[in-house]
Amino acid sequence: MTNHLANQTWSLVPCPKNGNIIRSWWVFHLKYNVDGSIEHHKARLVAKGYSQQPGFKYLEIFSPTIHMSTLKTILALVAIEDLHLWSINILHAYLNSKMELDAYMEQLEGFTCGSPNELVCLLDKELYGAKQGGRHWNK
């Protein structure tokens, strides 16, 4: 929730009359240390993207991905030329991409403000699970 608030992922607005409200859920996961003890608890808010309507709430979902032969070629060149390969992990990647069309999501379970039937979240940033999230992040 701290990351969502810091990134201003949504704003609460009155429920639109004919808007398609996306549902969401929390995905919980435990991260373990090598010895099997719990390192920390993780929670991710995920949109139920299957309820989105094509052409109405998203236009395109294509996002380029790397082909395995390209990855193997890069790794082979790094090994042959004795180069250093760096990679990065973008924390909360989808929260850094802006929505192009208006999308509304129900208020989160356990974090409601006012009446959940009257106020909904207008998404300003993408969420994991939204159909167009990968494309917007790639842009």
How confident is residue 79, by pLDDT bands cut at 50, 70 and 90?
very high
CB atoms < 10 A from the CB of 23, how many?
A: 12
Model pTM? 0.59
In angstroms, the CA 52 to CA 19 distance is: 11
In angstroms, the CA 137 to CA 93 distance is: 7
Q: Read off the pLDDT of residues 44-72 as tens digits, 9 standing for 90 and up.
A: 888 776 655 555 455 565 656 778 999 89
For the chain, give the percent of residues with pLDDT over 70.
71
87's CB contacts (< 8 A; 6+ apart) are none
Considering only CA atoms, which of 97, 117, 116 is closest in space to residue 108? Answer: 116
Average pLDDT over residues 105-127: 78
